Amino acid sequence: MTPSVTHSDPLQSLPDILEPGLSVVFCGINPGVLAASTGRHFAGRGNRFWRVVHLAGFTPEQISPDDDHTFLQHGCGLTTVVSRPTARADELSPGEFKAAATEFEQKIERYAPQCVAFLGKMALSAMSGTRDIHWGLQPATFGGARAWVLPNPSGLNRTFSLDALVTAYRELRLAVAPAGGALPSSMRETVPSSRLE
């Protein structure tokens, strides 16, 4: 199936990489300026996303931002909550998250992933109107999917080391496919057995 590509303004948005029934949809806060200008998710040299998802077991090798569309082959998709690109996520207003909330939740309902993973607490907190957001699996679903909050892999987020990011993302990967359990068919080839220990 061809990934969904949605551009409300081709100069100001980043295409979604989605198809129905994925294991996980990773949701960035909004596109960075480089990602928006190249049309590639997590394109910045300092962004650790592609390295982290590989080390956490979602992909058999590290994907290049130029090949971001191949993430679908591993049962994973990509989108952003707010489409407006900025140099820093803190340039977004709470109103932008509120304005995006309904449409974003409908998008998740439409594509029906098993899990939706928010990268950072900011977007879910702003959309839900609560500051009581913790890391990991959330008590409530979002758009019918199990909701997770993972640390943002941006190079600007130095609160989390590479090892801490990998540990957090691996928890999600293991929740989607527990150790010793069968991986979803879309992810079956991606995790070496040594990573399941």
| pLDDT band (50, 70, 90) for residue 55 | very high
pLDDT digits (tens, 9 = 90+) for 111-134: 999 999 999 998 899 888 888 899
Residue bearing the bigger pLDDT, 157 or 24: 24
According to the model, what pLDDT value does residue 178 have? 66
pLDDT digits (tens, 9 = 90+) for 67-78: 999 999 999 999
According to the model, what pLDDT value does residue 59 have? 96
According to the model, what pLDDT value does residue 12 have? 58
What whole-number distance in Å separates Cα of residue 14 and Cα of residue 165? 24
Tell me if 113 sits within 8 A of 176, measured CB to CB.
no
According to the model, what pLDDT value does residue 86 have? 87
pTM, whole model, 2 decimals? 0.83
Q: At 98, list the tokens.
A: 């509120």
Residue spans of the domains in the chain: they are: 24-190
- Backbone torsions φ then ψ of 60, nearest 5 degrees: -75, -25
pLDDT digits (tens, 9 = 90+) for 68-109: 999 999 999 999 999 988 888 888 988 898 899 999 999 999
19-33, 59-73, 176-190: segment of lowest average pLDDT = 176-190
Tell me if 142 sits within 8 A of 105, measured CB to CB.
yes
- The per-type count for the chain, helices as H runs and strands as E runs, is 5, 5
CATH number of the domain located at residue range(s) 24-190 in this protein: 3.40.470.10
What whole-number distance in Å separates Cα of residue 169 and Cα of residue 174? 9
Nearest Cα to 164, choosing from 152, 177, 176? 152
- Backbone torsions φ then ψ of 17, nearest 5 degrees: -120, 95
Nearest Cα to 39, choosing from 18, 76, 9, 66? 66
| pLDDT band (50, 70, 90) for residue 179 | low
Nearest Cα to 85, choosing from 34, 146, 161, 157? 34
Please determine, for residue 10, whether its predicted confidence score (pLDDT) is greater than 80. no
Active-site residue list = 30, 41
